């Protein structure tokens, strides 16, 4: 709502509507409700309505954890008994709490839950609550047009079944919108209709807010006409919440009462002459009353600081600078310790302190507080950026959901048209049914023939695929057999080459001895050769198991530096022959075998201590 600005740093205070229960005057409404809810004899089915009232009492008193707990308990019990009206009220309360705490992402979820529940029942009151929750969402997004739209939708629902409580809340929100638009006529209309509906309820906190709205409507008129009667009406309606607070103890929230007191004090400060002692006394009285009722109260530091601001202003008018400074410093300490921080009020406080010290000539302190104001302005900017980000996300999700709803509506319209079309098609189909029946037997016979033909073709295709698979398998088996035979031939060729070279060496040795004229003992040579042949046959059987690529692998490791003799020695070493056997097969001395081994290790890049046999075994494997 549009409220009277409090000097020097009073922020615009928007009084939110609330639910309050019927309770005894002797005990607090919250205690009365709790005792009834806790009574084992009280029906569980009747608890959600009382829990919703209790939640609103806590919310109006800014005790949000207890308010949320009561609302959630109400929602659980309501859904258990399928009481969708009370469930809708409970989730609307949760949405209101999220709105108060500026938890915009959770607010969107709560509003969606309200609509989901409201759509499960034809109850118009439940849908009115859902529309009100939507109003809170669009109020968060600063979307006044959609606020008005859903307010009107909610009021149309209440035409089917009146509910003055939610009607007053919706009308109050319309007053807020038109107050922001400075539409004096609409402000007066909706403030009055909201008050008329609130008078039909027993929620005096809600009624107090509506009276405050009426005072603002008359203030508009007074500013336009300067008619003294309009100013009297402003004061008349501002005193109504104060009277209700004292007439119905515990039924009007302390915060609501304090705001009414500050509005009264500020009206005296703003519109009455500064030399009017009665106005001054009344203003100080009401500012002190607001200060007193909110002392040590949580989540109300901004209102408390506003009362101190008014008192400070009157102290300055009297020339009591020490008292004015004391009030400002007290407001500074209170608002600075608030959690969450009220940065806008804090900025006004420090700016007032800066101006105060500047007037007093204390420029150092004035500069310090001005620097603080700059710091808090930056924090406000960052906070606003974060809130704007949340708002943009919610706006995107809301527009996306609205678009989906629009698409669903269009689909529903299209489905209706389709139904008409289907009806026409059904009639045409009925007319053609006789013709279709006569052609049915022919079509059936043709279909059976086609199906039989397809089955035959499918069977032939399957047989063809099977034959192709068998042919491929046979070809693979033949290829594997040829590869095996080729590998075996390679092994035999390698072994025969080694044997042939051994025989050539033996013959060369005999020829050399004959040429040199040495005496040859042929019997001894044949005996040695038979032993060697026996060893070689054993080696041949083993070397046939050597991988055909063994020599390529060895030669690659040696970078193609190995001779044929080196490769032959590597093959014998791989077959695990000792030096004596290798010397006999190669017809050389054992010393030459050892020298050849050393030379091969060098060509393979092995260290002196490396095992050549192990290296070759690993390579062969």
pLDDT per residue as tens digits for the range 418-470: 777 777 787 877 777 776 766 777 777 778 888 888 888 888 888 888 888 88
pLDDT at residue number 494: 57
- Calculated CA dihedral for residues 605, 607, 613, 616, nearest 10 degrees: -30
The answer to whether residues 562 and 554 touch, using CB atoms and an 8 Å cutoff, is yes
pLDDT per residue as tens digits for the range 156-170: 999 999 999 999 999
Q: Average pLDDT over the chain, rounded to whole?
A: 83
pLDDT per residue as tens digits for the range 355-368: 988 988 999 988 99
pLDDT per residue as tens digits for the range 593-606: 888 888 888 888 88
pLDDT at residue number 456: 84
pLDDT at residue number 18: 34
pLDDT reading at 323 higher than 80? yes
Rounded to an integer, the average pLDDT of 505-515 is 70
CB atoms within 10 A of CB 215: 26
Please list the alpha-helical segments (H only) found in 253-362.
254-271, 277-293, 301-317, 321-336, 343-359
pLDDT at residue number 102: 87
Q: pLDDT class for 175, splitting at 50, 70, 90?
A: very high
Pick from 17-26, 127-136, 495-504, 601-610: least confident:
17-26
pLDDT reading at 8 higher than 90? no
pLDDT at residue number 539: 52
pLDDT at residue number 12: 30
Strand partners, 10: 6
Two structure tokens written together for 2 = 């549009």
pLDDT at residue number 257: 95
Q: pLDDT class for 147, splitting at 50, 70, 90?
A: very high
pLDDT at residue number 145: 94
Give percent above pLDDT 90 in the chain.
42
Q: pLDDT class for 582, splitting at 50, 70, 90?
A: confident
pLDDT per residue as tens digits for the range 217-257: 999 999 999 999 999 999 999 999 999 999 999 899 999 99
pLDDT at residue number 554: 80
pLDDT at residue number 26: 46
pLDDT reading at 530 higher than 80? no
The answer to whether residues 514 and 563 touch, using CB atoms and an 8 Å cutoff, is no
By C-alpha distance, which of 89, 73, 189 is closest to 131?
89
The answer to whether residues 160 and 189 touch, using CB atoms and an 8 Å cutoff, is no
Q: Please state the pTM of the whole predicted model.
A: 0.62
Pick from 236-240, 292-296, 354-358, 497-501: least confident:
497-501
pLDDT at residue number 104: 84
The answer to whether residues 174 and 207 touch, using CB atoms and an 8 Å cutoff, is no
Pick from 56-60, 137-141, 389-393, 590-594: least confident:
389-393
**Could you give the domains of the chain?**
27-135 (1.25.40), 163-252 (no CATH), 479-620 (no CATH)
């Amino acid at each position: 709502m549009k409220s009277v600005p409090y000097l020097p740093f009073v922020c615009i205070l928007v009084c939110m509507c609330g639910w309050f229960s019927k309770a005894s005057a002797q005990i607090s409404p919250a205690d009365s409700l709790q005792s009834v809810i806790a009574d084992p004899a009280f029906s569980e089915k009747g608890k959600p309505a009382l829990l919703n009232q209790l939640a609103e009492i806590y919310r109006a008193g800014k005790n949000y954890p207890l308010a949320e707990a009561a609302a959630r308990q109400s929602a659980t019990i309501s859904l258990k008994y399928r009481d969708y009206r009370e469930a809708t009220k409970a989730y609307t309360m949760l949405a209101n709490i999220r709105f108060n705490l500026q938890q915009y992402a959770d607010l969107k979820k709560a509003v969606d839950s309200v609509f989901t529940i409201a759509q499960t029942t034809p109850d118009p009151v439940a849908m009115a609550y859902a529309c009100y929750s939507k109003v809170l969402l669009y109020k968060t997004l600063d979307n006044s047009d959609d606020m008005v739209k859903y307010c009107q939708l909610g009021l149309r629902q209440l035409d089917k079944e009146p509910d003055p409580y939610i009607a007053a809340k919706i009308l109050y929100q319309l007053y807020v919108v038109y107050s922001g638009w400075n539409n004096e006529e609409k402000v007066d209309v909706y403030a009055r209709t909201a008050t008329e509906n609130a008078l039909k309820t027993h929620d005096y906190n809600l009624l107090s807010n509506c009276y405050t709205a009426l005072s603002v409507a008359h203030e508009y008129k007074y500013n336009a006409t300067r008619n003294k009667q309009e100013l009297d009406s402003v004061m008349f309606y501002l005193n109504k919440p104060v009277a209700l607070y004292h007439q119905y103890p515990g039924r009007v929230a302390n915060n609501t009462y304090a705001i009414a007191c500050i509005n009264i004090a500020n009206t005296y400060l703003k519109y009455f002459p500064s030399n009017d002692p009665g106005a001054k006394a009344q203003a100080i009285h009401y500012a002190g009353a607001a200060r007193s009722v909110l002392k040590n109260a949580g989540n109300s530091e901004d209102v408390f600081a506003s009362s101190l601001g008014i008192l400070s202003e009157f102290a300055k008018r009297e020339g009591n600078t020490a008292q004015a400074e004391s009030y400002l410093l007290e407001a500074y300490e209170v608002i600075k310790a608030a959690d969450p921080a009220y940065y806008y009020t804090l900025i006004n406080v420090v700016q007032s302190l800066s101006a105060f010290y500047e007037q007093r000539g204390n420029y150092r302190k004035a500069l310090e507080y001005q620097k603080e104001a700059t710091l808090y302005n930056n924090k406000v900017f960052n906070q606003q950026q974060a809130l704007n980000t949340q708002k943009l996300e919610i706006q995107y999700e809301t527009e996306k959901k609205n678009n989906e709803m629009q698409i669903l509506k269009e689909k529903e319209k299209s489905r209706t048209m389709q139904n008409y079309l289907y009806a026409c098609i059904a009639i045409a189909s009925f007319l053609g049914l006789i013709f279709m029946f006569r052609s049915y037997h022919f079509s059936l016979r043709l279909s059976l023939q086609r199906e039989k033909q397809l089955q035959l073709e499918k069977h032939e295709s399957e047989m063809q695929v099977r034959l192709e698979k068998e042919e491929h398998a046979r070809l693979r088996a033949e290829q594997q057999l040829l590869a095996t035979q080729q590998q075996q031939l390679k092994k035999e060729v390698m072994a025969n080459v080694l044997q042939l070279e051994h025989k050539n060496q033996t013959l060369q040795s005999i020829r050399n001895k004959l040429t040199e004229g040495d005496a040859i003992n042929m019997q001894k040579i044949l005996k040695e050769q038979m032993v060697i042949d026996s060893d070689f046959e054993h080696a041949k059987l083993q070397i046939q198991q050597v991988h055909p690529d063994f020599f390529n692998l060895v030669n690659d490791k040696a970078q193609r530096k190995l001779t044929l003799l080196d490769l032959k020695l590597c093959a014998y070493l791989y077959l695990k022959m000792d030096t004596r056997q290798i010397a006999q097969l190669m017809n050389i001395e054992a010393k030459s075998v050892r020298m050849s081994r050393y030379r091969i290790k060098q060509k393979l890049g092995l260290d002196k201590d490396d095992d050549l046999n192990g290296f070759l075994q690993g390579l062969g494997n």
